[in-house]
Amino acid sequence: MAVIRLGAVDYLNARPLVHGLDQRPDLFVLRFDPPSTCAALLHEGAIDVGMIPSIEFQRGIPPYVIVGGMGIVSDGPVASVALFSTKATAEIRSIAVDTSSRTSTGLLHVLCRESLGIAPELVPMPPAIDAMLQRCDAALVIGDPALYLDHQKAGLSKIDLGEQWTSLTGLPFVWAFWAGRPGVLSEAALAGLGAARDAGVASSDAIADAYCGPARAALGRAYLRDNIQYVLDARAAAGLRKYYELAAKHGVIDEVRAPVFY
């Protein structure tokens, strides 16, 4: 049986999904990258299965298959994907968007039109908050940099995109999931991914402590416990389909490709 080349997201929220996979060299070889890089590696065939931002499912050639039942999901505030600004929302004319994930940028595009009532210019930039806010009225930051940013100390407002989405739709938002080409994952590999997720969720406090260090351990523990879910259930799948529907409505994607699951 061929070893599966896995590409995972290099953020705290992904760690429970890969817990112990480095101890399964019979099944997997694992690497970590930013979300956009992970997706690019899958698109070019450099990895077999990637923890890809959810919008990237729409760009797979041939169409990808999603590993069912698990993902990186929020149902309310996500804490780690947010719009930061010194201006009132109605005054925002330009937003610097973190180049690390097109899912978050796509969601921002949807929310600007569906709930925030603005139509700003979106300017792709690296996730450096000071430079972003020098260039634009607001900054979209994702992952660990967003989680760790003390916006109150920095004098910034924070709009949590997960909270905005759930307020708009009443549904969870699916940020990322394992996906690959059809037939890549064996039953043993699927079972291995499920076991890693279960063990990671059970060990989330220890994962946060090791990843964040003493100064941020409490923040990391609360985040993994209260903001992130790892079950892609029927409600989450409905949220995923709703995102694709609104992304197509607002020109983020050309058409909706229905999710297909292992």
Residues 100 and 156 in one domain: yes
Q: Which of 151, 169, 187 is the last residue of a domain?
A: 169
Q: How far apart are CA 93 and CA 137, in angstroms?
A: 6
Question: Is 134 domain-assigned?
Answer: yes
The reported pLDDT for the residue numbered 1 is 62
Question: Is 261 domain-assigned?
Answer: no
The reported pLDDT for the residue numbered 99 is 85
Residues 181 and 121 in one domain: no
Residues 112 and 98 in one domain: yes
Residues 10 and 68 in one domain: yes
Residues 116 and 182 in one domain: no
Arithmetic mean of pLDDT, 215-221 = 98
Q: Mean of the per-residue pLDDT values for the chain?
A: 95
Residues 178 and 63 in one domain: yes
Residues 105 and 144 in one domain: yes
Question: Is 191 domain-assigned?
Answer: yes
CATH at 151: 3.40.190.10
Question: Is 115 domain-assigned?
Answer: yes
In terms of residue numbers, what domain contains 220? 4-73+173-233
Question: Is 240 domain-assigned?
Answer: no
Residues 182 and 68 in one domain: yes
Contact between 204 and 218 under an 8 Å Cβ cutoff? The reply is no
Arithmetic mean of pLDDT, 132-141 = 97
Q: How many domains does the chain have?
A: 2
Residues 60 and 183 in one domain: yes
**Pairing of the two strands 69-74 and 65-66:** unpaired
pLDDT digits (tens, 9 = 90+) for 98-121: 888 789 999 999 999 999 999 999
> Taking 80 as the threshold, does the pLDDT of residue 185 lie above it?
yes
Q: Which residues pair with 160 in a beta bridge?
A: 82
The band of 61, judged by pLDDT with boundaries at 50, 70 and 90, is confident
CA 198, chain centre distance (Å): 19
> Taking 70 as the threshold, does the pLDDT of residue 214 lie above it?
yes
Residues 64 and 98 in one domain: no
Residues 65 and 177 in one domain: yes
Question: Is 246 domain-assigned?
Answer: no
Contact between 74 and 227 under an 8 Å Cβ cutoff? The reply is yes
The reported pLDDT for the residue numbered 240 is 98
Question: Is 218 domain-assigned?
Answer: yes
Question: Is 97 domain-assigned?
Answer: yes
Three-state SS annotation for the chain: CCCEEEEEECCHHHHHHHCCHHHCCCCEEEEEECHHHHHHHHHCCCCCEEEEEHHHHHHCCCCCEECCEEEEEECCCCCCEEEEECCCHHHCCEEEEECCCHHHHHHHHHHHHHHHCCCCEEEEECCCHHHHHHHCCEEEEEHHHHHHCCHHHHCCEEEEHHHHHHHHHCCCEEEEEEEECCCCCCHHHHHHHHHHHHHHHHCHHHHHHHHHCCCCHHHHHHHHHHHCEEEECHHHHHHHHHHHHHHHHCCCCCCCCCCCEC
More confident call, 100 vs 253: 253
The band of 178, judged by pLDDT with boundaries at 50, 70 and 90, is very high
Look up residue 18 and give its amino acid: V
The reported pLDDT for the residue numbered 127 is 87
C-alpha to C-alpha distances, 232 to 2, 73, 108, 139, nearest whole angstrom: 27, 7, 22, 29
The reported pLDDT for the residue numbered 2 is 84
Residues 15 and 131 in one domain: no
